[in-house]
Structure 1
Amino acid sequence: MQLKHIMNFGGLPTILISTITGALIGYLLPKLQARIQKRKRASLNYTEDDNLVSGDTYKMLLVVRMDLKMGKGKVAAQCAHAACGSVEVATKRNPDILKKWRMEGQAKVVVKIQTEEELIALGRTASDQGVLSYIVRDAGRTQIEAGSRTVLALGPGKKSDIDMITGHLKLL
Protein backbone atom coordinates (compact mmCIF):
# COMPACT_ATOMS: atom_id res chain seq x y z
CA MET A 1 0.00 0.00 0.00
CA GLN A 2 1.35 3.37 -0.97
CA LEU A 3 1.02 6.38 1.34
CA LYS A 4 0.32 9.10 -1.16
CA HIS A 5 -0.84 11.59 1.49
CA ILE A 6 2.63 11.80 3.06
CA MET A 7 4.56 14.61 1.45
CA ASN A 8 8.31 14.64 1.20
CA PHE A 9 10.49 17.59 2.08
CA GLY A 10 13.99 16.92 0.92
CA GLY A 11 13.44 13.20 1.32
CA LEU A 12 11.85 13.43 4.83
CA PRO A 13 8.20 12.53 5.25
CA THR A 14 5.90 15.15 6.85
CA ILE A 15 5.27 12.90 9.86
CA LEU A 16 8.97 12.83 10.70
CA ILE A 17 9.28 16.60 10.30
CA SER A 18 6.24 17.12 12.55
CA THR A 19 7.67 14.80 15.19
CA ILE A 20 11.02 16.58 15.22
CA THR A 21 9.33 20.00 15.35
CA GLY A 22 7.10 18.90 18.22
CA ALA A 23 10.04 17.55 20.19
CA LEU A 24 12.00 20.77 19.72
CA ILE A 25 9.05 22.89 20.83
CA GLY A 26 8.50 20.63 23.84
CA TYR A 27 12.15 21.01 24.79
CA LEU A 28 12.60 24.73 24.09
CA LEU A 29 9.26 26.19 25.25
CA PRO A 30 9.79 25.59 29.00
CA LYS A 31 13.28 27.08 28.73
CA LEU A 32 11.89 30.15 26.98
CA GLN A 33 9.14 30.55 29.59
CA ALA A 34 11.73 30.35 32.39
CA ARG A 35 13.84 33.06 30.73
CA ILE A 36 10.79 35.30 30.35
CA GLN A 37 9.90 34.86 34.06
CA LYS A 38 13.51 35.57 35.05
CA ARG A 39 13.54 38.79 33.02
CA LYS A 40 10.16 39.79 34.45
CA ARG A 41 11.45 39.34 38.01
CA ALA A 42 14.65 41.23 37.20
CA SER A 43 12.65 44.14 35.79
CA LEU A 44 10.78 44.32 39.10
CA ASN A 45 14.00 44.09 41.13
CA TYR A 46 12.65 40.92 42.73
CA THR A 47 14.26 37.54 43.11
CA GLU A 48 12.99 34.37 44.71
CA ASP A 49 15.63 34.98 47.40
CA ASP A 50 13.76 38.12 48.53
CA ASN A 51 11.18 36.13 50.44
CA LEU A 52 13.68 33.41 51.42
CA VAL A 53 15.78 36.01 53.25
CA SER A 54 12.81 37.51 55.08
CA GLY A 55 10.95 34.19 55.36
CA ASP A 56 7.89 35.99 54.07
CA THR A 57 5.38 35.73 51.31
CA TYR A 58 2.71 38.29 50.51
CA LYS A 59 -1.06 38.22 50.63
CA MET A 60 -4.23 40.28 50.87
CA LEU A 61 -6.82 39.52 53.52
CA LEU A 62 -10.49 40.39 53.04
CA VAL A 63 -12.50 40.66 56.27
CA VAL A 64 -16.27 40.34 55.78
CA ARG A 65 -18.90 41.50 58.30
CA MET A 66 -21.30 38.69 59.05
CA ASP A 67 -23.90 40.71 60.98
CA LEU A 68 -25.08 42.33 57.73
CA LYS A 69 -26.30 38.95 56.43
CA MET A 70 -25.29 39.76 52.85
CA GLY A 71 -26.07 37.29 50.11
CA LYS A 72 -23.23 35.38 48.44
CA GLY A 73 -23.24 37.63 45.39
CA LYS A 74 -23.21 40.75 47.53
CA VAL A 75 -20.26 39.42 49.54
CA ALA A 76 -18.40 38.63 46.31
CA ALA A 77 -19.04 42.14 44.93
CA GLN A 78 -17.97 43.80 48.19
CA CYS A 79 -14.78 41.71 48.29
CA ALA A 80 -14.04 42.76 44.70
CA HIS A 81 -14.50 46.42 45.70
CA ALA A 82 -12.16 45.89 48.65
CA ALA A 83 -9.47 44.20 46.55
CA CYS A 84 -9.58 46.94 43.90
CA GLY A 85 -9.47 49.68 46.53
CA SER A 86 -6.58 48.02 48.31
CA VAL A 87 -4.57 47.78 45.08
CA GLU A 88 -5.18 51.50 44.48
CA VAL A 89 -3.89 52.30 47.99
CA ALA A 90 -0.84 50.06 47.52
CA THR A 91 -0.08 51.64 44.14
CA LYS A 92 0.30 55.01 45.86
CA ARG A 93 1.73 54.01 49.24
CA ASN A 94 3.86 50.90 48.69
CA PRO A 95 4.38 49.89 45.05
CA ASP A 96 7.29 47.56 45.95
CA ILE A 97 5.09 45.29 48.08
CA LEU A 98 2.40 45.42 45.39
CA LYS A 99 4.93 44.19 42.80
CA LYS A 100 6.11 41.35 45.03
CA TRP A 101 2.51 40.32 45.80
CA ARG A 102 1.72 40.28 42.08
CA MET A 103 4.80 38.19 41.28
CA GLU A 104 3.73 35.60 43.86
CA GLY A 105 0.28 35.15 42.33
CA GLN A 106 -1.79 37.76 44.20
CA ALA A 107 -2.88 35.56 47.10
CA LYS A 108 -6.19 36.58 48.68
CA VAL A 109 -7.81 35.07 51.76
CA VAL A 110 -11.35 35.80 52.99
CA VAL A 111 -12.22 35.69 56.69
CA LYS A 112 -15.23 36.70 58.74
CA ILE A 113 -15.86 39.10 61.58
CA GLN A 114 -19.07 39.67 63.50
CA THR A 115 -19.55 43.42 63.96
CA GLU A 116 -18.75 46.82 62.54
CA GLU A 117 -16.96 47.76 65.77
CA GLU A 118 -14.61 44.79 65.38
CA LEU A 119 -14.02 45.71 61.74
CA ILE A 120 -13.11 49.30 62.62
CA ALA A 121 -10.85 48.21 65.51
CA LEU A 122 -9.07 45.75 63.22
CA GLY A 123 -8.54 48.50 60.64
CA ARG A 124 -7.04 50.78 63.31
CA THR A 125 -4.72 48.04 64.53
CA ALA A 126 -3.56 47.40 60.97
CA SER A 127 -2.94 51.09 60.42
CA ASP A 128 -0.97 51.33 63.69
CA GLN A 129 1.15 48.36 62.56
CA GLY A 130 1.83 49.91 59.14
CA VAL A 131 -0.29 47.39 57.22
CA LEU A 132 -2.15 48.83 54.22
CA SER A 133 -5.92 48.81 54.62
CA TYR A 134 -9.08 49.81 52.80
CA ILE A 135 -12.69 49.74 54.06
CA VAL A 136 -15.61 49.42 51.64
CA ARG A 137 -18.67 51.55 52.30
CA ASP A 138 -21.74 50.32 50.47
CA ALA A 139 -23.64 52.64 48.13
CA GLY A 140 -26.98 51.34 49.45
CA ARG A 141 -28.50 50.40 46.11
CA THR A 142 -29.45 46.82 46.99
CA GLN A 143 -29.33 44.85 50.27
CA ILE A 144 -27.40 47.13 52.62
CA GLU A 145 -27.99 50.61 54.04
CA ALA A 146 -25.94 53.33 52.33
CA GLY A 147 -22.62 54.02 54.03
CA SER A 148 -22.44 50.65 55.79
CA ARG A 149 -18.91 49.31 56.19
CA THR A 150 -19.00 45.86 54.63
CA VAL A 151 -15.45 44.57 53.99
CA LEU A 152 -11.99 45.51 55.23
CA ALA A 153 -9.05 44.71 52.96
CA LEU A 154 -5.66 44.32 54.61
CA GLY A 155 -2.59 44.39 52.39
CA PRO A 156 -1.21 43.43 50.09
CA GLY A 157 1.46 42.96 52.67
CA LYS A 158 3.76 40.49 54.30
CA LYS A 159 1.83 37.42 55.38
CA SER A 160 3.49 37.45 58.80
CA ASP A 161 2.44 41.07 59.45
CA ILE A 162 -1.16 40.41 58.45
CA ASP A 163 -1.35 37.10 60.35
CA MET A 164 -0.09 38.78 63.52
CA ILE A 165 -3.15 41.04 63.45
CA THR A 166 -5.76 38.59 62.09
CA GLY A 167 -4.57 35.11 63.03
CA HIS A 168 -7.58 34.64 65.32
CA LEU A 169 -10.16 35.13 62.54
CA LYS A 170 -11.87 32.18 60.86
CA LEU A 171 -12.16 31.58 57.13
CA LEU A 172 -15.44 32.56 55.53
Structure 2
Amino acid sequence: MSIETNTPDLLELELGIPRFILWFVMLPVLPVTLIGLANLIGGEFLTALVLLIGLNGAFVAGYIALSERTRLRLDAGSGLVSITRTSRLGMRQWDYPLEVLDSAELDRSHTSQESRTTSKVMLVFRNTRPATRVALSRWGVSGDGPGQIANRINAWLRHHSGDETSAPTHRLSS
Protein backbone atom coordinates (compact mmCIF):
# COMPACT_ATOMS: atom_id res chain seq x y z
CA MET A 1 0.00 0.00 0.00
CA SER A 2 1.14 3.48 -0.73
CA ILE A 3 -0.64 6.70 0.06
CA GLU A 4 -0.35 9.10 -2.84
CA THR A 5 -2.33 12.02 -1.41
CA ASN A 6 -3.89 12.62 2.01
CA THR A 7 -5.49 16.05 2.32
CA PRO A 8 -8.83 17.04 3.85
CA ASP A 9 -10.39 17.07 0.36
CA LEU A 10 -8.62 14.12 -1.26
CA LEU A 11 -7.39 10.68 -0.24
CA GLU A 12 -5.63 8.58 -2.86
CA LEU A 13 -4.01 5.27 -2.15
CA GLU A 14 -2.75 2.35 -4.19
CA LEU A 15 -2.85 -1.31 -3.22
CA GLY A 16 -0.73 -3.91 -4.93
CA ILE A 17 1.91 -6.52 -4.40
CA PRO A 18 5.41 -4.99 -4.34
CA ARG A 19 7.08 -5.15 -7.73
CA PHE A 20 10.14 -7.06 -6.50
CA ILE A 21 7.88 -9.99 -5.56
CA LEU A 22 6.56 -10.04 -9.13
CA TRP A 23 10.14 -10.40 -10.37
CA PHE A 24 10.55 -13.48 -8.16
CA VAL A 25 7.47 -14.99 -9.80
CA MET A 26 9.06 -14.54 -13.23
CA LEU A 27 12.58 -15.63 -12.19
CA PRO A 28 12.08 -19.34 -13.11
CA VAL A 29 10.99 -18.54 -16.68
CA LEU A 30 14.53 -18.29 -18.11
CA PRO A 31 15.82 -21.65 -16.77
CA VAL A 32 12.57 -23.44 -17.69
CA THR A 33 12.77 -21.97 -21.20
CA LEU A 34 16.40 -23.07 -21.61
CA ILE A 35 15.60 -26.59 -20.40
CA GLY A 36 12.57 -26.71 -22.71
CA LEU A 37 14.68 -25.61 -25.69
CA ALA A 38 17.33 -28.22 -24.84
CA ASN A 39 14.62 -30.89 -24.77
CA LEU A 40 13.28 -29.66 -28.11
CA ILE A 41 16.72 -29.84 -29.70
CA GLY A 42 17.25 -33.30 -28.15
CA GLY A 43 14.07 -34.59 -29.77
CA GLU A 44 11.86 -34.67 -26.67
CA PHE A 45 8.99 -32.79 -28.26
CA LEU A 46 6.32 -33.57 -25.63
CA THR A 47 8.57 -32.66 -22.68
CA ALA A 48 9.60 -29.45 -24.43
CA LEU A 49 5.96 -28.60 -25.10
CA VAL A 50 5.03 -29.12 -21.44
CA LEU A 51 7.93 -26.97 -20.25
CA LEU A 52 7.69 -24.19 -22.82
CA ILE A 53 3.93 -23.80 -22.96
CA GLY A 54 2.57 -25.38 -19.80
CA LEU A 55 5.00 -24.38 -17.09
CA ASN A 56 5.97 -21.01 -18.56
CA GLY A 57 2.28 -20.34 -19.20
CA ALA A 58 1.58 -20.93 -15.51
CA PHE A 59 4.31 -18.48 -14.51
CA VAL A 60 2.99 -15.83 -16.89
CA ALA A 61 -0.61 -16.38 -15.72
CA GLY A 62 0.54 -16.00 -12.11
CA TYR A 63 2.38 -12.81 -12.98
CA ILE A 64 -0.70 -11.37 -14.69
CA ALA A 65 -2.93 -12.28 -11.73
CA LEU A 66 -0.54 -10.85 -9.14
CA SER A 67 0.28 -7.67 -11.07
CA GLU A 68 -3.18 -6.19 -10.54
CA ARG A 69 -3.09 -2.85 -8.73
CA THR A 70 -6.05 -1.07 -7.16
CA ARG A 71 -6.20 2.69 -6.83
CA LEU A 72 -8.75 4.22 -4.46
CA ARG A 73 -9.63 7.90 -4.74
CA LEU A 74 -11.93 9.62 -2.25
CA ASP A 75 -12.54 13.09 -3.67
CA ALA A 76 -14.63 15.54 -1.65
CA GLY A 77 -14.42 18.11 -4.46
CA SER A 78 -16.17 15.94 -7.03
CA GLY A 79 -18.13 13.94 -4.44
CA LEU A 80 -16.94 10.62 -5.89
CA VAL A 81 -15.31 7.43 -4.69
CA SER A 82 -13.31 5.97 -7.59
CA ILE A 83 -11.92 2.46 -7.59
CA THR A 84 -9.58 1.75 -10.51
CA ARG A 85 -8.14 -1.72 -11.10
CA THR A 86 -5.21 -1.94 -13.49
CA SER A 87 -3.62 -5.17 -14.68
CA ARG A 88 -1.64 -6.37 -17.66
CA LEU A 89 -4.99 -7.14 -19.32
CA GLY A 90 -6.47 -3.65 -19.04
CA MET A 91 -8.09 -1.15 -16.73
CA ARG A 92 -11.53 -1.03 -15.10
CA GLN A 93 -13.00 1.83 -13.08
CA TRP A 94 -16.05 2.11 -10.84
CA ASP A 95 -17.39 5.39 -9.45
CA TYR A 96 -19.71 5.71 -6.46
CA PRO A 97 -21.15 8.77 -4.70
CA LEU A 98 -18.98 9.74 -1.71
CA GLU A 99 -22.04 10.58 0.38
CA VAL A 100 -23.14 6.91 0.52
CA LEU A 101 -19.73 5.56 1.60
CA ASP A 102 -20.25 4.58 5.22
CA SER A 103 -16.94 3.05 6.25
CA ALA A 104 -14.16 0.61 5.51
CA GLU A 105 -14.11 -2.74 7.26
CA LEU A 106 -12.03 -5.90 7.25
CA ASP A 107 -13.23 -9.18 5.85
CA ARG A 108 -11.23 -11.90 7.59
CA SER A 109 -10.85 -15.45 6.43
CA HIS A 110 -9.13 -18.26 8.28
CA THR A 111 -6.79 -20.72 6.62
CA SER A 112 -6.51 -24.35 7.63
CA GLN A 113 -4.39 -23.26 10.57
CA GLU A 114 -6.49 -21.08 12.88
CA SER A 115 -3.40 -19.05 13.81
CA ARG A 116 -3.15 -17.70 10.25
CA THR A 117 -5.80 -15.29 9.08
CA THR A 118 -5.90 -13.11 6.02
CA SER A 119 -7.85 -9.90 5.66
CA LYS A 120 -9.02 -7.73 2.85
CA VAL A 121 -10.43 -4.22 3.00
CA MET A 122 -14.09 -3.80 2.09
CA LEU A 123 -15.80 -0.47 1.44
CA VAL A 124 -19.32 -0.34 2.89
CA PHE A 125 -21.93 1.70 1.02
CA ARG A 126 -25.21 2.36 2.86
CA ASN A 127 -27.38 3.19 -0.17
CA THR A 128 -28.73 -0.39 -0.40
CA ARG A 129 -30.22 -2.82 2.09
CA PRO A 130 -28.28 -4.88 2.99
CA ALA A 131 -25.30 -2.56 2.61
CA THR A 132 -23.18 -3.01 -0.50
CA ARG A 133 -19.63 -4.18 0.21
CA VAL A 134 -16.93 -3.70 -2.39
CA ALA A 135 -13.53 -5.38 -1.97
CA LEU A 136 -10.50 -3.24 -2.72
CA SER A 137 -8.43 -6.24 -3.79
CA ARG A 138 -9.08 -9.79 -4.91
CA TRP A 139 -6.80 -11.42 -2.36
CA GLY A 140 -6.43 -11.31 1.40
CA VAL A 141 -3.19 -10.38 3.12
CA SER A 142 -1.89 -11.38 6.54
CA GLY A 143 -0.43 -8.82 8.91
CA ASP A 144 -1.62 -5.40 9.97
CA GLY A 145 -1.59 -3.72 6.53
CA PRO A 146 -5.31 -4.13 5.79
CA GLY A 147 -6.21 -2.78 9.23
CA GLN A 148 -4.03 0.27 8.67
CA ILE A 149 -5.70 0.89 5.31
CA ALA A 150 -9.19 0.62 6.84
CA ASN A 151 -8.19 2.92 9.70
CA ARG A 152 -6.77 5.49 7.27
CA ILE A 153 -9.93 5.48 5.16
CA ASN A 154 -12.19 5.71 8.22
CA ALA A 155 -10.11 8.56 9.69
CA TRP A 156 -10.40 10.48 6.40
CA LEU A 157 -14.16 9.85 6.30
CA ARG A 158 -14.57 11.06 9.92
CA HIS A 159 -12.52 14.17 9.18
CA HIS A 160 -14.45 14.83 5.96
CA SER A 161 -17.81 14.49 7.72
CA GLY A 162 -16.61 16.69 10.60
CA ASP A 163 -17.09 13.93 13.20
CA GLU A 164 -13.61 13.86 14.75
CA THR A 165 -14.73 12.59 18.17
CA SER A 166 -16.41 9.34 17.17
CA ALA A 167 -14.80 5.96 17.54
CA PRO A 168 -13.48 4.11 14.51
CA THR A 169 -16.30 2.78 12.38
CA HIS A 170 -14.71 -0.30 10.82
CA ARG A 171 -15.79 -3.73 11.96
CA LEU A 172 -14.00 -7.03 11.83
CA SER A 173 -16.06 -9.72 10.14
CA SER A 174 -15.49 -13.42 10.14
Which TM-score band applies after superposition, normalised by the shorter structure?
under 0.3
Q: Which has the higher helix share?
A: 1
Higher relative contact order (CA 8 A, sep 6+): 1
Q: Which has the higher strand share?
A: 2
Question: Which TM-score applies when normalising by structure 2?
Answer: 0.25
Question: Which TM-score applies when normalising by structure 1?
Answer: 0.25
Larger Rg: 1
